[in-house]
Amino acid sequence: MRVLFVTYAERTHYFQMVPMAWALRTAGHEVRIASQPALQDTIVASGLPAVSVGRDHSFDQVLVEKSDDEGWSERVANVLIDPASVAYDDYVRFLREATIYSGQVFNDPMVDDLVAYTRQWQPDLIVWEMFTFAGAVAARATGTPHVRLLWGADVMVRMRQHFLSLLAQQPPQRRRDPLGEWLAQTAERFGTSYDEELITGQHTLDQSPASMRLPLGLPTVTAQYVPYNGPSRLPDWLREPPARPRVCITAGISMRGFHGHDPVPLKTLQAFGDLDLEVIATLVPPEGETIDLPDNVRLVDFVPMHALLPSCAAVVHVGAAGIGATATRYGVPQLTLVPAQWDAPVRAARIQELGAGLSIPQEEVTPEMVREAVLRLVTEPSFRAAADRLRAEVLAEPTPNEVVRVLERLVTPCDPR
């Protein structure tokens, strides 16, 4: 069968699609990846065929504009962390902002060309990244089965379920659904209609372990998370096992792509100088920021997490979904320096509830707090035991190769006779 993967141009979100795309490819299916021009080199570097659709998005400009809106992050966090407590009018405001500043920004530049390409190539299945609603619209416009791929907690649908319950209670003159209205208008341009499948997908591909999933009642295909970190070379020092407990401190690669540096100050590293630890910090500081590093700290700009984390006793990160999922796969206790960004607070809270890590709100972080939390993760056996339980859950899920058969059945259902 022909399978079209669709994502807006964000490489870390695309990275979460690569193992599944390759599983389909090695099973003999024809796979293509459709995205905006900015992602083409990243797709080609992953060994898969790239299809350029539309224009690049401008989310970097949105971040600049919203940096002056001090309440924006808090409004996002309130809706996604505790949706049951949010009032109807606050939901409408959030959905209006989310539609204008992310939904339209990511999707409008690519949807027309994507629909045209889908009509031309006629895939049998479309797999779309959870923010790339253009993939669902293209599927609906062409009658193609489609699957939404999650890279984190499904806070979008949880939020929608609470909102739709409130929406149904409003008198007709007060009913507003900015996200649904925009998607309805978009779908109508291609001769089709809107329903919640344009947000949920016909099925959801969830790569979280069972205890990390949100129970939302959706048709769900579960898969084992397999990390992909892009093309990389392993450093020579990683060939030898660490002589003392190794701790990774990282901010991932997403934020440095927007800001040019990572949101973890180098001064944090000085708190580890007198500890019997080996610290690997994959951080890029702001221009001009320098410090004298302790002898037990190695500062590098990048190491693939799937190669580094298996040797680590703990990892400190800023809530990036890929790093969190990789740590979970390898049974590594986590300290999350939690930003008020999308699902990061939800995932961090769940890791802490399960006993596999600790968290500190990003705005409250001090080097001393990070030091104390890391010492707990490294010295208290309960954190490793809980992380090992999560690892066992991950490895119990079907591999991408095994999930291929499930996706095949979604396209060609078994004859009930």
Per-residue pLDDT, 74: 75
Hey, is 149 helix, strand or coil?
strand
Task: Give the percent of the chain with pLDDT over 70.
Answer: 93
Whether 407 and 202 have beta carbons less than 8 Å apart is answered as no
Least Cα distance to 136 among 206, 100, 80, 186 occurs for: 186
Per-residue pLDDT, 348: 95
pLDDT surpasses 50 at 353: yes
Per-residue pLDDT, 77: 76
Per-residue pLDDT, 265: 79
Per-residue pLDDT, 413: 66
3-state helix, strand, coil in the chain (%, to 5): 50, 15, 35
HSE on the CB side for 307, CA within 13 Å? 16
Least Cα distance to 323 among 312, 338, 334 occurs for: 334
The rounded distance, in Å, linking the Cα atoms of 363 and 337 is 9
pLDDT range class, residue 272, cuts 50, 70, 90: very high
Spatial neighbors of 17 by CB under 8 A, at least 6 apart, are: 5, 7, 33, 127, 129, 149
- Give per-residue pLDDT as tens, 126-167: 999 999 999 999 999 999 999 999 999 999 999 999 999 999
More confident position, 54 or 254: 54
pLDDT surpasses 80 at 65: no
- Give per-residue pLDDT as tens, 7-61: 999 999 999 999 999 999 999 999 999 999 999 999 999 999 999 999 999 866 6
Average pLDDT, the chain: 92
Per-residue pLDDT, 284: 81
More confident position, 372 or 70: 372
Per-residue pLDDT, 256: 61
Per-residue pLDDT, 312: 98
Per-residue pLDDT, 63: 64
- Give per-residue pLDDT as tens, 179-234: 999 999 999 999 999 999 999 999 999 999 999 999 999 999 999 999 999 999 99
pLDDT surpasses 60 at 390: yes
pLDDT range class, residue 415, cuts 50, 70, 90: very low
Q: Once rounded to an integer, what is the mean pLDDT over residues 323-335? A: 97
Per-residue pLDDT, 114: 98
Q: How far is the CA of 124 from the CAs of 119, 176, 199, in angstroms? A: 11, 35, 20
CA triplet 154, 139, 409: central angle to 5 degrees?
Answer: 75
Whether 356 and 328 have beta carbons less than 8 Å apart is answered as yes
Q: Once rounded to an integer, what is the mean pLDDT over residues 241-245? A: 95
pLDDT range class, residue 287, cuts 50, 70, 90: confident
Hey, is 229 helix, strand or coil?
coil
Cα Rg of the chain, angstroms? 22
Per-residue pLDDT, 292: 84
Whether 215 and 208 have beta carbons less than 8 Å apart is answered as no
Q: Once rounded to an integer, what is the mean pLDDT over residues 395-400? A: 98
